[in-house]
Amino acid sequence: MDPYEQASEIYLLTTAYEFPWDVTRALELALYRTYAVPSIGRLLAATAELTDRTQKRYDDTSLLLDAVIEHGFDSREARTAIRRINQMHRSYDISDDDMRYVLCTFVVVPKRWIDAYGWRRLSRHETVASAVHYRTLGRHLGIKDVPQTYEEFEDCLDSYEAAHFGWDADARRVADATLDLMASWYPRPLAPLLRASTRALLDDPLLRAFRYTPPGPLARALVRRAVRARGRAVRLLPPRRAPHHGRQNWEIKSYPDGYRLDELGTRPVPGLRGCPVRHPD
């Protein structure tokens, strides 16, 4: 398969057959990286979507992005999902730089996670296809100066984080709410352990940005070794014969009776709660 001409097909194989669990976990951790940029974290706190309606925001984001991956850019489902994402983003004063950075997290964080914890490393074909897929998504979202190669995505992410990661009280509230959400998926007595385990997977720049107490070396080593052990165990399993799409993740809980893509997400009203930006029209 050609990683340029068939990028989205390759990316579908990567996410739905080869690494569905790993990609989901990586994109969850990518959320924290976006919060650590104060301009992004403050905006998310102001909308209250990730503090008051955390589960729904998590679900809607996953389902909209998954529709593009599952059905391809030329499908009716993908066009509907992209239209909804654009409608929401246009309601807020989001810089191209922040939009570009968030797009970079979708490319770089999953590769780094899979290379560290997956049952194998990503191939060059898969890496190129991921970059091309999100380059195409960036074009559909109207983001300017989208990186062209994986290396450019990686350089953009690293330089933006070095320049912009920092403390913000509102961003910390969003990070705390996301920690609470992920802990809520499991029995309540496990919540402290799960919060600690998630923090053990965050790197030092993230911990400093949120002013989280760094986990001890032993705790960090145990958590990371456990995740690596899971990857080695998966290596022994037979190949996946049926796709596992993001919409099938058990962590998505807001729509037990189904959903319509055109009804997902927010519909902010200018000047009211849900959209902190007043627009002239």
- Give the pLDDT confidence of 231-279 residue by residue, as tens digits: 999 999 999 999 999 999 999 999 999 999 999 988 765 544 444 333 4
- Give the pLDDT confidence of 20-50 residue by residue, as tens digits: 999 999 999 999 999 999 999 999 998 888 8
- Which segments of the chain have a pLDDT < 50? 271-281
Check residue 269 and give its pLDDT: 58
CA distance 270 to 143: 22
Token pair of 38, please?
């104060």
Check residue 64 and give its pLDDT: 97
Going by C-alpha positions, the residue among 29, 108, 28, 87 that lies closest to residue 62 is 28
Which ranges of the chain does DSSP label H, i.e. alpha helix?
Answer: 7-13, 20-35, 38-47, 49-52, 54-71, 76-89, 96-117, 124-140, 150-164, 169-184, 191-201, 204-210, 217-235
Check residue 249 and give its pLDDT: 95
Report DSSP letters for 153-195, one per residue.
HHHHHHHHHHHH----HHHHHHHHHHHHHHHHTS-GGGHHHHH
CA distance 191 to 194: 5
38-47 and 169-184 are packed helices; what angle lies between their axes, rounded to 10 degrees?
70
Where do the domains of the chain lie?
6-239
Check residue 47 and give its pLDDT: 87
CB-CB contact of 197 with 221 (8 Å): no
